[in-house]
Structure 1
Amino acid sequence: MIDDLADATWDRELDDLFLRIGHRFGRADLRRRLRDYVRALLGPVGRNNGWQLAEHAGHRTPDGLQRLLNRATWNADDVRDDLQTYVADKVGEADGVLILDDTGFIKKGATSAGGQRQYSGTARRTENCHIGVFAAYATIRARALVDRELYLPKSWTVDRERCRAAKIPDERAFATKPELARAMVLRALASPLADLLGDRGCRLRPGVALSPDAGRSRGRLRARVPKSQPVPHFGRIDHLFSQAPDEAWEQRSCGDGAKGPRVYDWAAVQLPVIEDFDGERPTHHRWALARRSTSRPD
């Protein structure tokens, strides 16, 4: 009975979501394929390829789902905006935080947009893969992905014919992963999520550098910095951590990779108080978090 109630709750929530975004798909057949596609992605499908998703949805071939993704007219950014409103309504809390990170997806071949040999943090090695930058909204009780950008290496953006063959718009220029993350932060600050970001504001793993105005507008921003980053009165930040005693370091995993848990040593240090962008003293303490290799602690 509990499983039946859970299934009924899922069905109601999915129907609510479909009603919110259905107007972005102009025809009834596209809306039906959208429902089938999303339900298949959430179902017990062994691999998320066209044939297996179509089979789970009860389609004879994957042609209908492929038309939805490749040739049908609808705007993914409009759906993203609807999703952000949905997340704000359903799980928004005053203590919300926006988390940004890049993720690699291993994929063979050289024709899929953005694919090439590049370093993947997920695999912890250089592989033929795609890199995506993602934004998630999280509170104490829930979390959800709310934005995404595909990283296109320069080898792609300088070859317009290759881009056109992969259906990449001509206006898409090269952007670094921090620049893509910055654009997502600014979009979030202009969305219904903006009023649901607490004092922690944003955690920006790819090392995003925002303008002072953007930084002050909502919450606090967390950024990854190089180990040579200077700290007032203390010198380089890696020198600061080199003085930490052994007991300051704690071994933890930051998630599973291709070879199992990615385990590192971690330590945190409170930074000295410095003035904010506008010359005012900050209202929050600043901390730096460092990780180091367990096999090469130097």
Structure 2
Amino acid sequence: MTVNVVHAELNALYVRASKRFARVSSHARAVEYVFWLIRMGGSDIHDRALVRPSKQMQRMLGLTAWDIDGVRDDVRTYVADRLGSRHGLLLIGAPEFGSSRRRQALAVPPTEGGGHGNIGVFLVYASPKGYAAIDRELYTAESRTGGGAGCQMTGIPEDLEQATMPSLIQDMLERAVSGYVPFAWVIVGAEFREWGDVRAWLKQRNISYVSVIRNSDEVSALNGCCTRADRLINEVPPHLWRRPPIDVGTISSRQYSWTRVKIQNSQVPGREHWLLAGRAIIGQESTDYFLCYGRRSTTLNELANAASSSHLLGECLKEAKRDVGLTLFDFDSWRTWYAHTTLSMLGFAGLAGAKARMLDEDPALSPQTYEENSD
């Protein structure tokens, strides 16, 4: 990746976000912080705690007035412009955060008990051009939001103290939909499999989704009875398992043999529910399970391509942690977490935009992330 292309894409983002800062100096500190994160991305992960951002940058994160959510919106719009595709995916997940020993890199004091009960939730956009995080929310456990002795995250707005995980996820999805982000499927991670509220919200809006579940989870069969996912799939005869052909399957989907079973009757014309299963054909034999909802005309290959791309969220956040420290640090301040995370997302979006730009100039550089073939 050439330095000139990276600088051009980052500068395009800085220009978009400049209106979110009341003072030029604050905008300059934010730009400086993004470059600091990118430089940190080029160093050994264990040496990063030895380097601290300047006091001016720390003040910008924790005290200076600027529109953090506005910058988030600018990042989402930029990613949709640079990476947007009608075959795109919206992936929801919650990664693990940095250990307490790395808090000193941002001058954050350790918390009592050595860790937080807070969970960062991310919305990632993936397309054939690449991937990037476009939204984030912080879920704070009830025991830590009341301001009592157990509260370790400071500065939480009162209206967000009782926010549930499903409501935060729905807020992020609503912003993506209202922001005209192009996508074909929403991929819901396994950590949210027990929250049917999210799937119900998607169905109410006729949004197609693939939700990762466990083999022991119960699903509603067509006869109205609830049964374990693995038992329902075990009833499928061998000849109904399919491996996607080379000309329509993604690289990931072709590593599995797939089958699906229609479950619970849909109340919406032209829509269906399926239980999808993918059985690994390379290495140790294992089976993955997914609840799916989409157009009745959806093919097995389309479901397989979407389901097999669920790993892209983890890959994206892992790269963002490595390259811009997205989830590397823990924070005691609600405001600082959002400021750092948003600027990290901006930096990684610029890197993703640079890769997409070079891909446009030389298609041979395809990152092999998520392929458009669907039928």
Q: Please report how far the alpha carbon of residue 78 of structure 1 lies from its aligned counterpart in structure 2 after TM superposition.
A: 1.1
Q: What's 1:177 paired with?
A: 165
The counterpart of 2:218, out of the listed 210, 223, 228, is 228
What is residue 203 of structure 1 aligned with on the other side?
187
**More moved, 33-42 vs 205-214:** 205-214
Checking the alignment, whether the CA contact within 8 Å between 2:123 and 2:172 is kept in structure 1 is yes
- Per-residue deviation, residues 46-68 of structure 1 (Å, max 9, x unmatched): 459686253xxxxxxx2011001
* Contact 1:22–1:31 under 8 Å retained in 2: yes
Residue pair 2:143, 2:151 contacting (<8 A) in 1 also: no
Q: Please, which runs of 5 or more residues in structure 1 have no aligned partner?
A: 55-61, 119-126, 251-265
Which amino acid is the alignment partner of residue 178 of structure 2?
A
Residue-pair matches, total: 255
1:146: Cα distance to partner? 0.3
State the SS of the aligned residue for 1:16.
helix
Aligned to 1:65: 57
State the match for 2:71 in structure 1: 79
Provide the secondary structure at the position in 2 that maps to 1:171.
Answer: helix
Aligned residue number for residue 342 of structure 2: none
Matches of 1:116 and 1:182, distance apart in 2: 32
Question: Which residue, 26, 29, 37 being the options, matches 2:25?
Answer: 29
Alignment match, 2:11? 15
Determine what percentage of the aligned residue pairs are the same residue: 23
Query: Per residue, is there more strand in 1 or in 2?
Result: 1
Q: Please report the TM-score for the alignment, with normalisation by the length of structure 1.
A: 0.70
For 1:34, the aligned partner's letter is A
Q: How does 1:16-165 map to 2 (within 5 A)?
A: 16-43=12-39, 44-47=42-45, 52-54=51-53, 62-108=54-100, 130-159=118-147
1:228 is aligned with what amino acid? E
Conserved 8 A contact 1:50-1:66: no
Residues 95, 290 of structure 1: CA spacing in aligned structure 2 closer, same or farther, 3 A cutoff? Answer: closer
Once the two structures are TM-superposed, the CA of residue 232 in structure 1 deviates from its matched residue by: 2.1
1:105 maps to amino acid: F
CA distance in 2, matches of 1:176, 1:116: 24
CA distance in 2, matches of 1:82, 1:150: 19
- Aligned-partner SS, 2:125: strand
> 1: distance between equivalents of 2:206 and 2:8?
33
How far apart, in 2, do the equivalents of 1:182 and 1:270 lie? 27
Work out which structure has the larger RCO, using CA pairs closer than 8 Å and 6 or more positions apart in sequence: 2
Q: State the alpha-carbon separation in 1 of the partners of residues 31 and 49 from structure 2.
A: 15
Residues 185 and 174 (structure 1), Cα distance of their counterparts in 2 relative to 1, 3 Å cut: same
Letter in 2 for 1:172: L
Query: SS of the counterpart of 2:51?
Result: helix
2:260 to 256, 262, 270: 270
Shift of 1:222: 2.3
> Which one-letter code corresponds to 2:126 in the other structure?
A
Amino acid at match of 2:188: L
The Cα of 1:163 is off from its aligned counterpart by 5.3
Relative to structure 1, the CA distance from residue 10 to residue 296 in structure 2 (aligned partners, 3 Å threshold; closer, same or farther) is closer
